[in-house]
Structure 1
Amino acid sequence: MSNQDLKIRVGIDAKWYFDGPPSGHMVVKNLVDEIIKAGDDRVELCLFLVSKNKKKAKAHFPEHIRLIFLPGIPNLLSNLFLLPLMTLLYDIDVVLFQNFGSAWPARALKIVYIHDVLFLDYPQYYTKAEVGYFKQMVRFAANVDQIITISNCEKERMHKHGLNAPLGINVVYHGINGAFKSLHTYSDDEIIALEQKYNLPQAYLLYVGRVNVRKNILGLVKALNLLRDFDHKLVIAGERGTYPELDDYISATQLEDRIIFTGHIPEADLRLLYARAKVFCFPSYAEGFGLPPLEAMQCAVPVVVADRTSMPEVCGYAASYANPDDEKSMAGAIELLLSNPDLYNEKVNHGLKQASKFSWAKAANEILTLITEAYAGRENYSEAQA
């Protein structure tokens, strides 16, 4: 049987499509949108969604997409019990889980999309409850047919900790939403409105993401304190958790006037916030992928990132790298960009080229190919055995 002869009923765990963890919501929404847009005639698509979004979902998705609604319970429990049951009831051939796989049903091909297992190497950045919860991903991954992850760095980490699957671990990079664009694409009115809304200075460095210890915001603020010769403020865009060390340092060094915390920002504002920045800074100690630097690159903004985990793999030659344990290294990388126009423009051009390698359409097509090839392989094996 050839791939062209197959019509596979694929169930996708899309519970985070309308809401959920910010990064999980972003990934699921972009992938599902692109899979639908691809219109692959080899696949009949079924989406597992949360019941509270039933009205919204029915109005949003095309009629040919089968929608299967589940009660809003924790993702682990839903994937262990409800998704498998629905897979049996709707006669689904392949199910794509988010993070947590399941041992049953035996008939369906089980693929789990695990974003990262950073907690195995960096437990200090997680609570004990989080580590205990996330470890169930490793436990239940032993029961799936295939694992998809987001970088070779994470694939190697999984192998190191004994994760594997009969059909292997496959890497599918995240994409970048095409709506991220450079500053010249915006009108003066749009730029002025953003500046007034967030009280933006004329020149600023930017960080986007969670404000916590793993993201090393304290290291970035220490680097800012060394950049006294530059009239740049630091804009930190993201939900601010409990971070007493950061608060104490800002107060002790009297940096309150040089730092703007915006909190969570709507995506439309975020895109322009990127484009309006002078340099994007991402000093994180550990990342499974690290999408914000690529989003900044697509907005024609040069980036300074930590030389750790997945960052060199994802950012390539386009980024400027710094040691996240050394604020002098970070400050030096930022200063070099701000003081060297030729290097600045070179990094902008390299960044645009690097960002062009990543798209959600490409990611969706790679996932569809993995699904169809895995299913065809199993069908061919079953026919040969018959």
Structure 2
Amino acid sequence: MSNGGLKIRVGIDAKWYFDGPPSGHMVVKNLVDEIIRAGDDRFELCLFLVSKNKIRAKAHFPAHVKLIFLPGIPNLLSNLFLVPLMTLLYDIDTVLFQNFGSAWPARALKIAYIHDVLFLDYPQYYTKTEVSYFKQMIRFAAKADQIITISNCEKQRMQKHGVTAPLGISVVYHGINGAFKPLHTYSENDIIALEEKYNLPRAYLLYVGRVNIRKNLISLVRALSLLQDFDLKLVIAGEPGRYPELDEYITSKQLWGRIIFTSHVPEADLHLLYARAKVFCFPSYAEGFGLPPLEAMQCGVPVVVSDSTAMPEVCGTAALYANPNDENEIALEIELLLNDQALYNEKVKQGFAQARKFSWTKAANEILTLITEAYAGRENYSEAQTQPRL
């Protein structure tokens, strides 16, 4: 071991800690915070960060965490060239890469944290450029010692496509930030302020996430058009993407008055936006995990989700499920919740219980345990290889 056998020096790809892809930023920030909070004496932590955030990082992180700053270049190139170089210079024992691993250096244990490989089964939801870029992730995954992914559904997808590593694929579920809380925990002034800021109606369905074809908002909007007997609007909170089919349908059915697009919502507002919703809807065609429904559950809001990919694994019996290709079925499940108060209350109760199964503290501890076991296994293997033969 590089530091006298006392601690494993762990390098964590944390370039998305302060900014980056919304889902990647959320995962990295929560995991890094929990790993640092654990204060585990088995490890010496080194964070790979982007140079533009140097001032913020130095003020933010505790002194015992080593900060290593890198130029702001694409993640693939950074992980392929810069992170390995820093791993050698700082004598790091184990590196946790985000998505893109690296073929070198051979001495350090390489763990690739690959969130999903949906593009292998659903290339129609990605551009040709995206598919080409993500394929490099698979190429370099073959050079990793171990892979971590976020659901058994994704593990099975990787195995089906021959994505593997010598130490195997481990599943570590995402967690839910403790800031997501039920509506009764907020003050009346905060609720009124949010309603005025986003012009919220009395009752609304909520969707949170990207606005693109894979998220299947067109089916949700079609379901909304079928719910004529309810004074109900749809709030869509997420970064807008190119989705002409959705715009055309909303225009053709004159639904603009029933839909509110908020674009990006700051975290502080997002928590209350969830809690204030009547029903949360997530009709996505394909998800590696699908965290928003769990966030809604923790806020005491029942959910209707698609019955595909990882959603049943993540939501269990707490959600109502619908075929993402059938807007009538989506509308029916929403209507069931709105018309049956007993069912509504039961799903709220089940949602709280389901959400409690997922925490970032648990995820961070599982990753640290995997690092410890993988490193110990590799050390034992190396020692055995160097023993003289009798």
Instruction: Give the TM-score taking structure 1 as reference length.
Output: 0.98
Deviation per CA, 1:284-343: give whole Å up to 9, x if none.
000000000000000000000000000000000000000000000000000000000000
Counterpart of 1:222 in structure 2 is 222
Deviation per CA, 1:107-137: give whole Å up to 9, x if none.
0000000000000000000000000000000
Looking at structure 1, the residues matched to 147 and 325 of structure 2 have their Cα atoms a distance apart, in angstroms, of 32
Counterpart of 1:56 in structure 2 is 56
2:303 aligned with 1:303? yes
Q: How does 1:61-72 map to 2 (within 5 A)?
A: 61-72=61-72
- CA shift, 1:383, in A, is 2.5
SS at match of 2:261: strand
What stretches of structure 1 of length at least 5 have no aligned partner?
A: none
Deviation per CA, 1:72-110: give whole Å up to 9, x if none.
100000000000000000000000000001010000000
Q: How does 1:161-180 map to 2 (within 5 A)?
A: 161-180=161-180
Deviation per CA, 1:12-45: give whole Å up to 9, x if none.
0000000000000000000000000001100000
Looking at structure 2, the residues matched to 80 and 302 of structure 1 have their Cα atoms a distance apart, in angstroms, of 43
Aligned partner of 1:318: which letter?
A
SS at match of 1:273: helix
Counterpart of 1:210 in structure 2 is 210
Counterpart of 1:144 in structure 2 is 144
Q: Name the count of aligned residue pairs.
A: 383
Deviation per CA, 1:153-192: give whole Å up to 9, x if none.
0000000000000000000000000000000000000000
Counterpart of 1:362 in structure 2 is 362
Deviation per CA, 1:248-297: give whole Å up to 9, x if none.
11111111111000000001100000000000000000000000000000
Counterpart of 1:373 in structure 2 is 373
Q: How does 1:304-383 map to 2 (within 5 A)?
A: 304-383=304-383
SS at match of 1:206: strand
Looking at structure 2, the residues matched to 384 and 113 of structure 1 have their Cα atoms a distance apart, in angstroms, of 28
2:313 aligned with 1:292? no
SS at match of 2:214: coil
SS at match of 1:124: helix
The CA RMSD over aligned residues, in Å, is: 0.9
Q: Quick check: 1:9–1:44 contact (8 Å CA) kept in 2?
A: yes
Looking at structure 1, the residues matched to 148 and 271 of structure 2 have their Cα atoms a distance apart, in angstroms, of 28
Counterpart of 2:77 in structure 1 is 77
Looking at structure 1, the residues matched to 324 and 197 of structure 2 have their Cα atoms a distance apart, in angstroms, of 31
Counterpart of 1:183 in structure 2 is 183
SS at match of 2:12: strand
Looking at structure 2, the residues matched to 335 and 347 of structure 1 have their Cα atoms a distance apart, in angstroms, of 14
Q: Quick check: 1:6–1:376 contact (8 Å CA) kept in 2?
A: no
Q: Quick check: 1:110–1:144 contact (8 Å CA) kept in 2?
A: yes
Looking at structure 2, the residues matched to 237 and 202 of structure 1 have their Cα atoms a distance apart, in angstroms, of 17
- CA shift, 1:361, in A, is 0.4
SS at match of 1:20: coil
Q: How does 1:101-116 map to 2 (within 5 A)?
A: 101-116=101-116
Counterpart of 1:128 in structure 2 is 128
Aligned partner of 2:312: which letter?
P
Instruction: Give the TM-score taking structure 2 as reference length.
Output: 0.97
- CA shift, 1:381, in A, is 2.1
Looking at structure 2, the residues matched to 6 and 323 of structure 1 have their Cα atoms a distance apart, in angstroms, of 53
Aligned partner of 2:216: which letter?
N
Counterpart of 2:257 in structure 1 is 257
